[in-house]
Amino acid sequence: MRLNDWKIINLPKNIKLARTAGFCYGVKRAVETTKKLKSENPNKNVCVLGELIHNQNVIQELECLGIKTIDDNSFDDVSDICVIRSHGASPHVFEILISKNKQIVDMTCPDVKKVQKKAIELVKKGFLLLILGKSYHPEVIAIKANAQKYSHNNEIFVISNMDELKEIEDKIKKHKKIGVVIQTTQKLELLANTVNYLIPIVKDLRVFNTICPSTTRRQNEAKNIARESDLMIVVGSKKSANTTHLAEILKDITNTIHIESEDELSLYKDIIRNSLNIGVTAGASTPDNIIEKVILELKKY
Ligand code: SF4
């Protein structure tokens, strides 16, 4: 039976796999286009600026196909064809690649582009921009850099929790207009708490919920499964923001473990054996074959 069939029915032994587990359309599009690009240009060097997705198996697979992953700032190593990953990139990166006459294949996810547009729209209208997300996340860096071009010297703030918001409260109070966007795979809770906090202290507050529909569907489905499960297993890289958020959300509902591959299941033998209903979901950068291996291993328990 293939993974997609498993997604339609409940597995025996009370194991339920989320239909939304695995690659989102933005990641699928980036991976498939990059592979196709190399197969259509076998004699040209193709590289990806930064990891295409947070999954070492996929990075190795690309490497085997002759597609190099290079560090975000190593412009000297850029090949003839350079892929911009789904997280997007700053205008500065595009300028450098153009100046080096590189062919750019922009795989920025359309949903990430929407956040960049909203952020630009806010700063153009004179709003002080607040981006919700981790400051080191490549998508956040790119959103900030794109908005910065139009920010009229206004500072752009990035916060990932309420403590960080409290630290900048005085600066925020000095501005009448505050605009908020959120990184596409963040938690809705962060947006809701931020808005509640800002309403009493900001006169003109403009908020865009820019969490992408794919993330919303994945989180909602996982929450529903978690409510009926004794244990949730989240599969995906610990470096992946969307996978980590998924595990954090589910921990508030039921016992949850976050694993990168089936090998880690043995560490949780007891809890798996003692759980009657087990739910499985996976992050947007987890390939189907890894989810498949986890399910097969789970069935042995
Ligand atoms: S998680 Fe959402 S924004 Fe990110 S690549 Fe997937 S669809 Fe696009």
Residue 184 CA, closest ligand 1 atom number: 3
Residue with CA closest to ligand 1 atom 5: 26
DSSP class of residue 11 equals B
pLDDT for 10 equals 47
Alpha helices in the chain (DSSP H): 3-8, 25-40, 56-64, 91-99, 110-124, 138-148, 162-167, 169-173, 188-198, 213-227, 241-251, 269-273, 288-299
CA-proximal residue: ligand 1, atom 7 (nearest): 26
Atom of ligand 1 nearest to the CA of 109: 8
Q: Is 64's pLDDT higher than 80?
A: yes
Global pTM value: 0.90
Within 10 angstroms of residue 76's Cβ, the number of other Cβ atoms is 7
More confident position, 146 or 72: 146
What is the residue whose two structure tokens read 């790119």? Answer: 142
Q: pLDDT at position 79, please? A: 86
Other CB atoms within a 10 A radius of the CB of residue 61 amount to 14
Instruction: Tell me how far CA of residue 247 lies from CA of 84, 231, 256, in angstroms.
Output: 28, 11, 7
Give the residue-averaged pLDDT of 218-233. 97
Alpha carbon of 29 to ligand 1 centroid (Å): 10
Residue ranges of alpha helices (H) inside 213-268 are: 213-227, 241-251
Q: Is 121 a catalytic residue?
A: no
Q: What is the DSSP string of 157-191?
A: EEESSHHHHHHTHHHHHT-SEEEEEE-TTS-HHHH
200 C-alpha vs ligand 1 centroid, how far in Å?
A: 32
Q: Which atom number of ligand 1 is nearest to the Cα of residue 212?
A: 2
pLDDT band at 9 (very low <50, low <70, confident <90, very high): very low
- Checking if the pLDDT of 143 tops 70, the result is yes
Nearest of 124, 129, 94, 122 to residue 108 by alpha carbon: 94
In CATH, the architecture of 26-108 is: 3-Layer(aba) Sandwich (3.40)
Q: Taking every pair of C-alpha atoms in the chain, what is the biggest distance, in angstroms?
A: 60
Tell me, which fold does domain 3-24+213-299 have in CATH? Cobalt-precorrin-4 Transmethylase; domain 1 (3.40.1010)
Is the domain defined by 111-207 classed in CATH 3.20.20.70?
no
Banded pLDDT at 301 (limits 50, 70, 90): confident
pLDDT tens-digit series, residues 16-45: 999 999 999 999 999 999 999 999 999 999
Domains 26-108 and 111-207 share a fold: no
- Write the burial class of residue 1 (CB in 10 Å: 0-12 exposed, 13-18 middle, 19+ buried): exposed
Q: How far apart are CA 106 and CA 104, in angstroms?
A: 6
Tell me the pLDDT band of 13, cut-offs 50, 70 and 90.
low
Active site residue: 32, 63, 95, 139, which one? Answer: 139
Least Cα distance to 22 among 184, 187, 220, 234 occurs for: 234
Q: What is the mean pLDDT of the chain?
A: 93
Give which of 175, 112, 171, 176 is closest to 147, Cα–Cα.
Answer: 112
Given a cut of 50, whether residue 150 has pLDDT beyond it is yes
**Cα–Cα distance, 156 to 178 (Å, whole number):** 10
Ligand 1 pocket (Cβ < 6 Å) reads: 24-27, 86, 109, 111-112, 184-185, 212, 214-215, 242, 284
> In the chain, where are the structural domains located?
3-24+213-299, 26-108, 111-207
Q: Do residues 250 and 43 touch, judged by C-beta distance below 8 A?
A: no
